[in-house]
Amino acid sequence: MEFHVSLDGRGDLVARIYRSLRDGVRDGRLRPGDRLPPTRELARTLDVSRGTVATAYERLTAEGFLVGRVGAGTYVASGATAMGAPPVRVTAGGLRPRREWADVPAVWPAGAPVRYDFKIGTPDARLFPYDTWRRLVAAEWRRGREPSGYADPAGHPDLRAAVARYVGYARSVLAGADDVVVTGGAQQALDLVARVLLAPGDVVAVEEPGYPPARAAFAAHGARVVGVPVDGDGLVISRLPATARLVYVTPSHQFPLGVAMSLRRRLELLAWADAHDAAVVEDDYDSEYRFADRPLEPLHGLDAGGRVVYVGTFSKTLLPGLRLGFAVVPPSLRGAVREARRVADGHGPVATEAALARFMDEGLLARHIRRTAKVYAQRRSLLLAGLAGPAGVLAPYLEAVPSAAGLHVCALARPGVDVVAVVERARAAGVRVAALGQYRAEAGGQGGPDGLVLGYGAIDAADVPAGLHRLAAVFRAVTPG
Ligand SMILES: Cc1ncc(COP(=O)(O)O)c(C=O)c1O
């Protein structure tokens, strides 16, 4: 790649070339050791005489910006230091995003590492089977088999078939490969569904508290997103706005409370969707990790009307960085969702999708889930022990919300406990936990009891008790009496 020499500005051609290169060195676009094109080549590119370029190079060399190495070309001098970022020429008044994007909050604020990390939303990257994965991806890149050209927007056929088998076997979601669209994580599935179903101003019902990135995906398409309360049985169907065109739910393990939607509510929701001609998006993001109770029937399996889009992800079972998820789409939406993926980004990475298909076909995903579930089960029971009374160190301050699955638990604050103060002080004490209020969008996050959301995907079992003790000390310090 060649450095772009601009002939803009005043002065003769030598001065313009000189200035363009000097500015490049000063603002760091050209770095010490970078090789400049031979004078003959640059002269041809700029359509100037070779002598003009040579004179500019000589001036820059004399001033210490460049060095010539005999027989080896001209380089940016090692002593030439950048003096700052490239000048930005655009001033006020430039482009502005449309309303939906003007003030987008960072929904997953990144944070510095902490000693005791109860962060939610991520599995333990140390448990990922790196060697196996490398072998599978390398096999896809072997000559003759390497992914070339454009592919099907709905995803690699082997992966679609593997996903259909997997959801049928593990979740009793009956689907064929044709019903599956591979996506860049669950998030892209939500985006694609929003593209094909929503018009600006449409009402979308989401759980409150709920998953902020889902809310953001629908709002970005101009939807009016309305939070609907969740109780111990899941989404309160009687509170759904009658005009909702789409209802987004996490019935297996409500995010973030953790409750499962009761069978009665599931049936009510489907009947409601039928009666109101609405779509239901079932985000089944972490139910592979189930530690108690019998799994409930997914909405998809109960849906006779073709209203449910079932969304899954490999972000919890494997790694979020893989960016692989999927949607099981009713036949009436199949073509539209597939074409929406083409419009959005063409399709996913072919070799990665093929490698995941092999990984699943060889039974390695099932084995990986079995192995990691044991690790998470231990961390989870240590965490729950800290919340359970009377011996639990956090029991005086928090009460766990019953849940059976996933990689986090939620605990509600007992009266008089200031959770927001705890979260901040805990951070200073090296413990990361999240306040439940940050997942409430209505009433400025104040619309219901507060509490903590504690993840056990990223923390070693050995660190759980010590982390909870440190957290309990923070509770003691900020709680009166
Ligand atoms: C409710 C919910 N849905 C989906 C996901 C996974 O998202 P993605 O597949 O886009 O990484 C998460 C991850 O935290 C989640 O909490």
Identify which of 324, 242, 292 has the alpha carbon closest to the alpha carbon of residue 400: 292
Atom 2 (ligand 1): residue with closest C-alpha? 285
Ligand 1 centroid distance, CA of 186 (Å): 6
The pLDDT value recorded for residue 109 is: 60
Query: How do the pLDDT tens digits run along the chain, 481 residues long?
Result: 889 999 988 889 999 999 999 999 999 899 999 999 999 999 999 999 999 999 999 999 999 999 998 788 999 998 877 665 566 666 667 888 888 787 776 666 667 889 999 999 899 999 999 999 999 999 999 877 777 789 999 999 999 999 999 999 999 999 999 999 999 999 999 999 999 999 999 999 999 999 999 999 999 999 999 999 999 999 999 999 999 999 999 999 999 999 999 999 999 999 999 999 999 999 999 989 999 877 788 999 999 999 999 999 999 999 999 999 999 999 999 999 999 999 999 999 999 999 999 999 999 999 999 999 999 999 999 999 999 978 899 999 999 999 999 999 999 999 989 999 999 999 999 999 999 999 998 766 667 789 999 999 999 999 999 999 999 999 999 987 7
Ligand 1 centroid distance, CA of 339 (Å): 23
The pLDDT value recorded for residue 137 is: 96
Q: What is the DSSP string of 309-327?
A: EEEEESTTTT-GGG--EEE
Phi-psi category of residue 226: left, alpha or beta, with phi > 0 → left and psi -120 to 50 → alpha: beta
* Residues flanking ligand 1, CB < 6 Å: 121, 185-187, 211, 250, 255, 283, 285, 313, 315, 320, 325
The pLDDT value recorded for residue 87 is: 62
Ligand 1 centroid distance, CA of 457 (Å): 13
pLDDT, tens only, 208-252: 999 999 999 999 999 999 999 999 999 999 999 999 999 999 999
Residue 112: is it exposed, middle or buried by C-beta count within 10 angstroms (0-12/13-18/19+)?
A: exposed
Torsion of CA 334, 186, 198, 252, to 10 degrees: 100
* Mutation choice for ligand 1 from 107, 313, 409, CB with most ligand atoms inside 8 A: 313
Cα gap 192→52, rounded to integer Å: 54
User: Is the alpha carbon torsion for 340, 342, 345, 350 positive or negative?
Assistant: positive
pLDDT, tens only, 310-342: 999 999 999 999 999 999 999 999 999 999 999
The pLDDT value recorded for residue 215 is: 95
Cα gap 380→292, rounded to integer Å: 11
Torsion of CA 19, 22, 27, 28, to 10 degrees: 140
Atom 6 (ligand 1): residue with closest C-alpha? 186
Cα gap 211→438, rounded to integer Å: 10
Atom of ligand 1 nearest to the CA of 283: 3
Domains of the chain as residue ranges with CATH: 13-76 (1.10.10.10), 116-122+370-478 (3.90.1150.10), 128-366 (3.40.640.10)
Ligand 1 centroid distance, CA of 318 (Å): 12
